[in-house]
């Protein structure tokens, strides 16, 4: 499968770049995508949720009323979960939600996600470009020229570019990442993938 290489004005440069069938033409594995996205989202969780149980509450341990003869339910000390200000029974505790996933599964997941985008014709390739100083309008014009301004777009660079990142920061629905930062979640979460020409070559070398 070959794609035309565009420039930042949205015009065809006359060059073509080939998408390797071993990456963009495979039969997608939905379960691998599910596992990789699940791991990504689990890793975003801080897991710092915490409530105090009855043993952590500061208060008297004296039995607040006699066991029998009151006509009401039995009760222990004031730290019991049934009283206002008491501890919480079986409340959430700090937890690490991350889990291990094999590198081969993660690679298969990324290939599968890219294959879906190639099948849906959601991939564009542009020439390498740079922005001299952070300007949101200049970056917005590029999105407009590529006809992805109204879509959730993901721009993939070969290496970090501070000016491009800062220019994109104020525009909702667009994200800039490098090849090394590209995740299955990012690929599946966008409507349009825009590769810088050099980044596509690096990605294919990594995943092939």
**Which tens digit of pLDDT belongs to each residue from 42-82?**
999 999 999 999 999 999 999 999 999 999 999 999 999 99
Q: What angle do CA 73, 75, 81 make, to 5 degrees?
A: 110
Q: Which residues contact 35 (CB under 8 A, 6 or more apart)?
A: 101, 105, 109
- Mean pLDDT, residues 133-150: 91
C-alpha span between 58 and 167 (Å, rounded): 52
Q: Domains of the chain by range and CATH?
A: 2-31+102-207 (3.40.1370.10)
Q: What is the pLDDT of residues 113-130, one digit of tens each?
A: 999 999 999 999 999 888
pLDDT given for residue 13 in this prediction: 86
User: 154 near 192, Cβ under 8 Å?
Assistant: yes
pLDDT given for residue 175 in this prediction: 93
pLDDT at 14 over 90: no
Using CA atoms, how far residue 118 sits from 4, 26, 153, in Å, is: 13, 10, 15
Q: What is the pLDDT of residues 184-198, one digit of tens each?
A: 999 999 999 999 999
pLDDT at 10 over 90: no
User: 36 near 109, Cβ under 8 Å?
Assistant: yes
pLDDT given for residue 60 in this prediction: 92
C-alpha span between 100 and 1 (Å, rounded): 34
C-alpha span between 88 and 92 (Å, rounded): 9
In the chain, the percentage of residues whose pLDDT exceeds 70 is: 100
| Residue positions counted in the chain | 208
C-alpha span between 102 and 111 (Å, rounded): 15
Q: What is the pLDDT of residues 25-43, one digit of tens each?
A: 999 999 999 999 999 999 9
């Amino acid at each position: 499968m070959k794609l035309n290489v565009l420039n930042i004005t949205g015009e065809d440069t006359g060059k073509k770049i080939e998408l390797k069938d071993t990456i963009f033409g495979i039969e997608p594995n939905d379960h691998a995508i599910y596992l990789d996205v699940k791991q990504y989202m689990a890793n975003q969780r801080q897991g710092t949720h915490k409530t105090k149980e009855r043993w952590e509450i500061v208060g008297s341990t004296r039995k607040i009323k006699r066991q029998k003869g009151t006509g009401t339910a039995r009760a222990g000390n004031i730290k019991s979960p049934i009283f206002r200000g008491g501890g919480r029974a079986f409340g959430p505790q700090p937890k690490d939600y991350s889990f291990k996933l094999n590198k081969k599964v993660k690679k298969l997941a990324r290939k599968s996600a890219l294959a879906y985008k190639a099948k849906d014709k959601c991939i564009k390739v542009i020439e390498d470009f740079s922005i001299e100083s952070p300007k949101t309008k200049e970056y917005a014009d590029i999105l407009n020229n590529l006809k992805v301004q109204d879509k959730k777009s993901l721009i993939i660079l070969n290496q970090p570019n501070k000016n491009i990142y800062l220019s994109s920061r104020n525009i909702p629905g667009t994200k800039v990442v490098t090849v090394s930062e590209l995740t299955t979640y990012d690929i599946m979460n966008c409507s349009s993938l825009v590769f810088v020409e050099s980044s596509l070559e690096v990605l294919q070398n990594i995943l092939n």
